[in-house]
Amino acid sequence: MARERRRGSARREGVVVPVSDQGYEKELRAEQEYVTGLYARLDAERARVKGRYSETLRSRGTTLVERDAEARALAKEIKRLDVADNGLCFGRLDSVTGARSYIGRIGIYDDANEFEPLLLDWRAPASQAFYIATAASPQRMRRRRQFRTRGQQVVDFTDEVFGHPGDGERGDAALLAAVNAPRGEGMRDIVATIQAEQDRIIRLEHPGVLVIEGGPGTGKTVVALHRVAYLLYTQREQMERNGVLVVGPNTAFLRHIGRVLPSLGETNVVFTTAGDLVPGLSVTAEDGPQAARLKGSLRILEVLKAAIADRQRVPEEPVSIELSDVTVRVGADIADWAREEARGSGLPHNQARATFLEVLTWALTERAIKRIGEGWLTREDREAWENMRADLRTELAEHEGFAELLDELWPVLTPETLLAELYSSTDRLRAAGADEALWRADGDAWTVSDVPLLDELVDLLGRDTSAEEAAAERERKAQAAYAEGVLDLLVNRADHMDDEDHLFATDLLYGEDLAERFVERDTRELAERAVADRDWTYRHIVVDEAQELSQMDWRVLMRRCPSHSFTVVGDLAQRRSAAGATSWEAMLEPYVPGRWLYRSLTVNYRTPAEIMAVAAAVLDDFAPEVKPPESVRSCGVQPWARQLTVDEMPSAIEEFVRDEECREGTSIVIGPPGMPGTVPASETKGLEFDAVLVVEPEHILADGPRGAAELYVALTRATQRLGVLHEGPLPPALAGLYTSK
């Protein structure tokens, strides 16, 4: 393979071949003309769809539901067409047969022939050669041309001409330009520069769990997001019905990656952190390693079940309930029988309360009837027996003391109430067989590790639907009353019209029928509905920094994706959580036995070789069995270290920030947790910056058993420049840093 260089020469089969400026300019004009035509076709299609959208909104020939569905579909299509403006066409493939194909963000077809593509969607099967063709395996292609564009203008192009095997792997000036470019506010898509090893992963059709592991800078996150875009393209109907969930380590990371899928025209995606998987919950605290490990283990399930059982009680002493004609006593015998029946029902705790109440009520009414009717009432007198039973049941249902006793013996519980009261009571922890490391004074100061427990308790406890059902019934009656009022107005109005001019509304509708018209429809987008609904299930889930997830976290996610279709992204060497994964097999095999695949990415596109050499020394110290990813480039700038006094440190940090503000790109200061003016390494996972200043690396190392992994993360965030400030001696792994004065 060889690369033709613009304006001067081309390298073909290792031989430099003259290429005239005139010939290049002619080719460039021809490509510009073609791309201009694509934009004209895009504008025409956009105008057509917007016209249909306007017509749909004005239409009166369809039902409201049909009109709403069509309008939503057209609105999505408008968004898809709008995002295609930026980098609409980024390349061309020439086959050995002479056929040409242009590759871009979306597919565009000829008006005269709807089966003739003017522009191939990058996800189409015919586009794959653009990403994987090499000299050794040209995929029946003769040339790959890559455009560099600015707006709608083709600035220049670079050609790769495929020839004899042995010319090497794909050389990519477009790739190097992209990885060397200054970073902006968020992650960019890589649709124009996807590499062969990435493309093969993106297009995998595996229906189960796909694990993508790679060291820092290997592009595993952006590959996972492009795989989502590919699945949405190939399985549009199934994927859009339920949407896709993307789980990231923190909100900064989600903001960083948030524009990638919209830039590819995909919007039915929910972005969240593991701490936000329970709607409405606010995480305000952090567990220590021991508590996190205990909560993340599946053994916590037995603690939760025992904690629920502990709230299902029998009275220590009989409790008297005074009714109008008789006093009944609730003793341990009756309550224990009712409890066993309720537990044996297999229902969640709150639903099983009805069984507990039913058995208790039956036993008490039986005893009451026998006492009241002693000497004169027999079971043969069925009518009198049933009448008395009905009266007693009504009296018990309205009895304040009985209601209080019921709440004491079998209370309605919420996940938050149960867990908060468990954590804040050593007695309850002991009764549930839990380790006292779970105790905390503020029971409802929720942590990320509490989220899967609260989610599990939703199913173990079930919901108390009585209040919801009563509210729904009141709402239904109110709507019916409103509709009846509307009908009365229509009828009264009709009474004042000529017989031939009016039609009585009551001939057409009853009040409850009309009430249905006033029910508010849910007009939220899929992502809005999904994030607010704990019971929503997704078609596919992406999990980033997956090495941090515990066994309990995985239960939550598996529950939200019944098909168990996942793209899992992580790096075991970067694990920080005490409850996280130590092996992918141990974590996934219990859930998807034989249904998970492992793929690795080995090339570092982010971190230049000079910086990666420093990070690799740290990696070798704590994970010598892990091979660091190989950087594709050098930046020519050596990372440096400077030793300062504690008083000099703040001004040195300010100087770095001030200097970087004068440069193009992004920067960050990373330090140990709690250090003023710095960001902890754990909050920078998955992010990248042009310049990184690491402060007090020895303190980062000393921050718990995973301190070395945190330092490794900190060092590998930089794409161009890395500096280190330290007060004490440098850790041995960093001894090779250039010393700056």
Q: What is the pLDDT at residue 710?
A: 94
Full residue range of the structural domain in which residue 655 is found:
609-739
Residue 166's pLDDT is: 41
User: Do 481 and 375 belong to one domain?
Assistant: no
Domain boundary among 486, 518, 550: 518
Whether 603 is covered by a domain: the verdict is no
Measure the CA–CA gap between 347 and 514, rounded to whole angstroms. Answer: 37
Average pLDDT over residues 261-286: 91
Per-residue DSSP letter, 165: T
Asked if residue 518 has pLDDT above 90, the reply is no
Q: Would the pLDDT of 504 be above 50?
A: no
Instruction: Tell which phi-psi region holds residue 98, choosing left (phi > 0), alpha (psi between -120 and 50) or beta.
Output: left
Same domain, residue pair 615 and 486: no
Please check whether residues 32 and 173 belong to one and the same domain.
Answer: yes
Task: Specify if 203 maps to a domain.
Answer: no
How confident is the model over 96-112, as a mean pLDDT? 92
511 in a labelled binding site: no
Q: Is the pLDDT of residue 319 over 80?
A: yes
pTM of the model: 0.84
Residues 354, 487 within the same domain: no
Q: Identify whether residues 31 and 164 lie together within a single domain.
A: yes
Domain membership of residue 679 (yes or no) is yes
Percent of the chain scoring above 70 in pLDDT: 86
pLDDT at 294 over 90: yes
- pLDDT for residue 443: 95
Identity of the residue numbered 478: A
Is 55 inside any structural domain? yes
**How far is residue 233's CA from residue 227's CA, in Å, rounded to a whole number?**
10
Tens digits of residue pLDDT in 36-63? 999 999 999 999 999 999 988 888 766 7
- Output the pLDDT for position 269: 92
Q: Is 216 annotated as a binding residue?
A: yes
User: End of a domain among 364, 394, 409?
Assistant: 409
Position with higher pLDDT, 168 vs 286: 286
Residues 41 and 139 in one domain: yes
pLDDT greater than 60 at residue 538: yes
Q: What is the pLDDT of residue 177?
A: 74
The per-residue DSSP string of 418-461 comes to HHHHHHT-HHHHHHTT--GGG--SSTT---GGGHHHHHHHHHHH
Q: Does 214 count as an annotated binding residue?
A: yes
pLDDT at 468 over 60: no
Q: How do 2-5 and 8-12 pair as beta strands?
A: antiparallel
471: which 2 tokens?
Answer: 């509210």
Q: Which of 259-268, 455-464, 591-600, 717-726 has the lowest mean pLDDT?
A: 259-268
What's the CATH code of the domain at 636? 3.40.50.300
**Is the distance from CB of 604 to CB of 630 less than 8 angstroms?**
yes
255 backbone dihedrals φ, ψ, rounded to 5°: -65, -40
Same domain, 470 and 337: no
Q: Which of 188, 131, 259, 206 shows the shortest CA–CA distance to 567?
A: 206
Residue 176 · residue 632 · CB < 8 Å: yes
- What is the sign of the dihedral through the CA atoms of 24, 25, 28 and 30? negative
The larger pLDDT score, comparing residue 171 to residue 664, is at: 664
Query: Within this chain, do residues 41 and 157 fall inside the same structural domain, yes or no?
Result: yes
Look at residues 548, 552, 526, 546 and name the one whose alpha carbon lies nearest to residue 538: 526
Strand pairing of 689-695 and 667-671? parallel
pLDDT, average across residues 209-237: 94
Count Cα neighbours of 335 within 13 Å in the Cβ-side half-sphere: 21
- More confident: 493 or 668: 668
Whether residue 469 sits in one domain with residue 391: no
The pLDDT of residue 645 is: 96
| Structure-token match 């948030």, residue found | 258
pLDDT at site 255: 92
pLDDT at 142 over 60: yes
Question: Is position 18 annotated in a ligand binding site?
Answer: no
Answer whether residue 508 shows pLDDT above 50.
no
pLDDT by residue (tens digit) across 692-736? Answer: 999 999 999 998 778 999 999 999 999 999 999 999 999 999 988
The answer to the question of residue 541 being in a domain is no
Least confident of 137-146, 500-509, 599-608: 500-509
Residue 15 has pLDDT above 50, yes or no: no
If pLDDT is split at 50, 70 and 90, which confidence band does 497 have? low
Beta bridge partners of 691: 667, 721
For residue 454, the model assigns a pLDDT of: 98
Q: Which helix (H) or strand (E) holds 254?
A: helix 251-257
pLDDT, the chain, mean: 87
Q: Are 692 and 713 in contact (CB under 8 A)?
A: no
Query: Longest Cα pair distance anywhere in the chain, in angstroms?
Result: 121
Q: How confident is the model at residue 112 (pLDDT cuts 50, 70, 90)?
A: confident
Average pLDDT over residues 449-469: 85
215 annotated binding-site participant: yes
Residue 373 annotated as part of some ligand binding site:
no
CA–CA separation, 640 and 267 (whole Å): 43
Distance separating alpha carbons of residues 252 and 688, to the nearest angstrom: 11
Question: Is 731 within the bounds of a domain?
Answer: yes
pLDDT at 481: 66
Contact predicate 156/28, CB 8 Å = yes
Residue 510 in this model has a pLDDT that exceeds 60:
no
Domain co-membership, 56 together with 149? yes
- pLDDT confidence bin for 358, thresholds 50/70/90: very high
Q: Does residue 490 sit in the same domain as residue 401?
A: no
Is residue 535 one of the residues assigned to a domain? no
pLDDT tens-digit readout, 334-346? 999 999 999 999 9
Ranges 58-67, 115-124, 450-459, 613-622: which has the least confidence: 58-67
Look at residue 472 and tell me whether its pLDDT is greater than 90: no
Q: Do residue 177 and residue 319 come from a single domain?
A: no
- Tell whether residue 217 is among the known ligand binding residues: yes
What is the rounded CA–CA span in Å between residue 490 and residue 495? 9
Is the pLDDT confidence value at 169 over 70? Answer: no
| pLDDT given at position 369 | 84
Domain total for the chain? Answer: 4
The reply, when asked if residue 221 is annotated as ligand binding, is: yes
pLDDT at 4 over 50: no
In a domain, 62, yes or no: yes
Confidence of residue 483 (pLDDT cuts 50, 70, 90): low
pLDDT tens-digit series, residues 226-263: 999 999 999 988 888 899 999 999 999 999 999 899 88
Residue type for 541, please?
I
Residue 412 pLDDT greater than 70, yes or no: yes
